[in-house]
């Protein structure tokens, strides 16, 4: 039986095993998919040990090991190189390891499912950490008219924006948003603020003028960010559960060549939150 696992710390909460079992069922495959708790010190040893088993075909890697694993793999996909992080390891036929990142495809796939257009859209991306970096390439590939990265710490937004190929993509601090004419089609929250129930300190006028707001976080009820957006009259508000399933679907495809139908899996997870 082909074996997979997800490495992280913490990891007990990970939904990846149940998501991948649902995908396997759709594909008519029998797989083993576990959770592996690692520490910074033993992560590489644990990863190496996992792949010693001949039937280990791949793994997912989540926080805080996504950068560490990018240095371990033999090869990186173009997207993983730009993101500087890996969430999917694929063991190739020749025994070498390819690192890829599926967060970006997961996000744009979910936006597509929700009918949210990126091409020619004016997008505000909140946050400039690993989550933002991981999805930039996929967003840009769909050719938005304008992408602004706004972050609590201004320098990090500027640094991230400086990696981008055009002056239509800029990085600023939250404070400078006061001076920005609010005209965004889509605001994406990639900050970790929702995890602690906090709101990124951006002007209400920016939020209320946007047609659509997407939070990469999710929970059993709308995140504070989405609740706030609703209060301000934003019509379309979406959480990141679909992105979670979308990134997993992309990993599953890389491992097995089978593209799962994400819809029943999102529905099933939603009802068990
Ligand atoms: P991740 O991998 O989830 O992106 P990270 O790399 O630690 O984690 O980045 C966290 C991001 O969330 C950063 O952009 C951080 O802003 P700073 O660079 O200013 O630290 C942002 N963030 C975290 N808590 C926040 C809060 N309460 N308000 C606004 N931004 C917050």
* Shortest-distance Cα residue to atom 9 of ligand 1: 129
Centre of ligand 1 from the C-alpha of residue 151, in Å:
8
Q: Say if residue 165's pLDDT is above 80.
A: no
pLDDT over 90 (residue 127): yes
What confidence category does residue 152 fall into, taking pLDDT thresholds of 50, 70 and 90?
very high
CA of 172 to the centre of ligand 1 (A): 14
* Minimum-distance ligand 1 atom for the alpha carbon of 133: 4
- The set of catalytic residues is 66
Residue 165 or 203, more confident? 203
CA of 57 to the centre of ligand 1 (A): 33
| Mean pLDDT within 213-231 | 97
pLDDT tens digit string along 85-126? 999 999 999 999 999 999 999 999 999 999 999 999 999 999
Q: Is the pLDDT assigned to residue 166 strictly greater than 80?
A: no
Q: What is the pLDDT of residue 169?
A: 86
* Confidence at residue 262, expressed as pLDDT on a 0 to 100 scale: 98
Average pLDDT taken over every residue of the chain: 96
Q: Which residues pair with 124 in a beta bridge?
A: 148, 187
In angstroms, the CA 25 to CA 252 distance is 12
Enumerate domains of the chain plus CATH numbers.
2-101+242-272 (3.40.50.10860), 104-239 (3.40.50.720)
Are 70 and 80 in contact, with CB atoms under 8 Å apart? Answer: yes
């Amino acid at each position: 039986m082909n074996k997979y696992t997800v490495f992280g710390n913490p990891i007990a909460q990970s939904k990846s095993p149940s998501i991948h079992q649902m995908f396997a069922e759709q594909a008519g495959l029998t797989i083993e998919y576990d959770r592996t708790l690692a520490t910074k010190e033993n992560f590489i040893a644990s990863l190496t040990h996992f792949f010693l088993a001949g039937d280990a075909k791949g793994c997912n890697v989540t926080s805080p090991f996504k950068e560490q694993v990018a240095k371990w793999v033999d090869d990186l996909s173009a997207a993983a190189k730009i993101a500087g992080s890996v969430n999917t390891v694929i063991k190739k036929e020749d025994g070498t390891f390819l690192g890829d990142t599926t967060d970006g495809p997961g996000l744009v796939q979910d936006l597509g499912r929700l009918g949210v257009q990126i091409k020619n859209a004016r997008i505000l991306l909140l946050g400039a950490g690993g989550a933002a970096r991981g999805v930039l390439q996929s967003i840009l590939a769909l050719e938005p008219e304008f992408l602004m990265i706004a972050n609590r710490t201004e320098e990090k937004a500027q640094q991230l924006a400086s990696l981008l190929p055009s002056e239509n993509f800029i990085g600023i601090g939250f404070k400078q948003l006061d001076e920005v004419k609010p005209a965004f089609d889509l605001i994406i929250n990639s900050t970790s603020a929702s995890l602690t129930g906090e709101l990124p300190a951006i002007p209400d006028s920016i939020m209320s003028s946007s047609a659509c707001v997407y939070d990469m976080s999710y929970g059993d009820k709308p995140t504070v960010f989405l609740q706030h957006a609703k209060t301000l009259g934003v019509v379309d508000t979406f959480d990141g559960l679909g992105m979670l399933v979308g990134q997993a679907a992309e990993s599953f495809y890389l491992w097995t060549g089978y593209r799962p139908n994400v819809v029943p899996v999102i529905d099933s997870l939603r009802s068990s939150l």
